[in-house]
Amino acid sequence: MEESQSQTQLTAVDGPDGVETDDGDRPAWDSKIQYVLAQVGFSVGLGNVWRFPYLCHQNGGGAFMLLYVFLLLVVGVPLFFMELAAGQSIRQGSIGVWKHISPKLGGIGYSSCMVCFYMALYYNVIIAWSLFYMGNSFRYPLPWEQCPTDVASNGTVKECAGSSPTSYFWFRKALNITNSIEESGGFNAVMTGCLLASWAIVSLAMIKGIKSSAKVMYFSSVFPYVVLFIFLIRGLLLDGAVEGITYMFYPKLEIWGNLQVWRQAATQVFFALGLGYGSVIAYSSYNPVHNNCHRDALMVSCINFMTSVLASLVVFVVLGFRAKNIALRCVAEYGCVCMSVHASSVTIDEYRQWYQHYSSMVGPKITDCSLEQEMNKGVEGTGLAFIAFTEVMAFFPASPFWSTLFFLMLLNLGLSTMFGTMQGILTPLMDNFSLLGRHRTLLTMSICAVGFLLGLLFTQCSGNYFVTMFDDYSATLPLIIVVIFETISVAWVYGTDRFLDDIEVMLKWRPPVVYKYLWKYVCLLSMVTLLAASLLRMIFKRPTYTAWNQSTASEMTLEYPGWALVMIIMLILFASLPVPVGYIHSFVKNRRVRSTPSQDEVGQEMCRELYTKCSSTEQLDSHSHRVPSEEDEVHPRPVFLSVSNEHYQLLSQQEDDDEEQDTRV
């Protein structure tokens, strides 16, 4: 597709009925700091705390960070800047922005809304888990510090003795989990109540739009940073912190040759910035037109990355302390037996040297108590937050205080992302449907109520398996597809030169021309490659999930049953179908409109609109003295069309665009 296929100008604003509207009554941020906190709060989420550190842990530490920064600069920042500029210029939600560029692209916005709704369903469940753990953190001692006693046998509960107190509390007390996704196990009443509370918090914060949610952002976006710095200072004082940080930053450059690592790094960049959800567009649409969105893109991206590094430092310090404690307990258990000395007098290095010499003479149950081996056991997601961290905090003095602080941080990280997700649903719907826009409170309450009812799927005893399913498959492919079509819309349908022209009007300076080539080629090719890699991985590697086996008190990997695979496919299709459906609907509608009038009427209309015949020199003179409009200044690409044998009429860009639209050039 060529740039000339653009059907509209980006600086115009169409209302729900396709007419130009005045957005003077559109809500706006009270201050720039509110907007920045909202964007940072949405983009910095739970993934920064438990996903990014795990990827660094598994993929070469410092080498993965360098790869991440490279992809962030050449793919992440340009796409983030593109969404910010589009939302700020058109001042609409995701549906209105892409429909404004071309009616055939309206389905992109609907796909974004669908993915946001998927995310809201399971993300609020994680917030409910944080509420549950925060409530239990006020107990002393913490309920996950020790294994409970079995009343029947008057001994330790077998499931807890076979795993650990933190694992037992998570899988049995919190989730009461079943052995597989095929066993429902009924509803977890406590988690259902926590889910209701989390949806109530979200609805109250969103009920007045950005006016209410922005005030909450002052706390929910800033508080996690305070807690992370507190944990970092506390963690640096722990035994094993240095080993953890060394493990984190030690680069393994050979991972750059692994295509799987590139895929994971690109996916993390993609999700860390919140691309494709429509929330970035929604937030930027409430900005003043001349706000410096380029600076915002660089600033938010930088804050996002530095937050990931800060969270990784905290995680690796804690994991280093945990690994050293496990290694010391191992030495205490086997050192006094095998080396015939008191365990407290044996160091880890001394024990490992002894083990290297006599390992062939001892039984298979005796291990080498390796600190590196414990560090190599990667922990991510809920396992990191609700098992590994809770285990470490049990060793801290005043453990309930540290536990409350940590889960309050998780709660605020989840809520700030949840507010952005809800804004990605509400703003496009209210902008595109005037009836919904007039009843914001009712719309917000209705979406929250539906979200709670559908969220009951995740409060079953098997609900954790459905959370994993939604997290792994409901958003990844649809979001990549959405961003691919967003890039095509701007770079090839509207045209990068025209897009940069509009940004120049907003910023009063023109962004570097490198963005033109990044949008047209680098970003688009990267997204298509990521989509192909993700599809191939799903095709050749059957989807699996990690289940908890109660009898063996251990985790195991299971394949999804047939009905679950169908459910995964339907989730992906429902989120992706609005893009082609919107295109087909617009195409059919246009054909119907074109086929209605007769050919003579069409010809007369084209002649009347496209050509202005100059019958006298005075007409040309009067036209040449016309005061140029702002539209002419924004798009000064004139096109000469022949109107007679002697004269030529200079047409404005808008007339040129009308010709292209009517003649389908």
3-class state of residue 409 by DSSP: helix
176 marked as part of a ligand binding site: no
HSE value, Cβ hemisphere, 13 Å, CA-based, for 340: 0
97 is in an annotated binding site: no
Show the tokens assigned to 55: 């990827």
- Three-state secondary structure call for residue 651: strand
The DSSP string of 43-81 is: HS-HHHHHTHHHHHHHTTTHHHHHHHHHHIIIIIHHHHH
How far apart are alpha carbons 371 and 320 in whole angstroms? 8
Characterize 588-625 residue by residue with b for buried, 16 or more Cβ atoms within 10 angstroms of its Cβ, and e for exposed: eeeeeeeeeeeeeeeeeeeeeebbeebeeeeeeeeeee
Q: Which two tokens stand for residue 247?
A: 């493990």
CA–CA gap between residue 425 and residue 258 (Å, rounded): 37
Q: What tokens appear for 615 in the block?
A: 């019958």
At residue 502, what is the residue type?
Answer: D
Residue 413 in marked binding region: yes
CA distance readout (Å), 279 to 210, 284, 285, 649: 12, 9, 10, 45
Residue 136 among known ligand-binding residues? no
Counting DSSP H helices and E strands in the chain, the numbers are: 34, 6
Torsion of CA 428, 429, 432, 436, to 10 degrees: -140
The answer to whether 300 is annotated as binding is no
Q: At what angle do helices 223-236 and 399-432 cross, to 10 degrees?
A: 150
Strands 149-150 and 155-156: antiparallel
**Binding residue positions:** 41, 44, 48, 304, 413
**Binding residue positions for Na(+):** 41, 44, 48, 304, 413
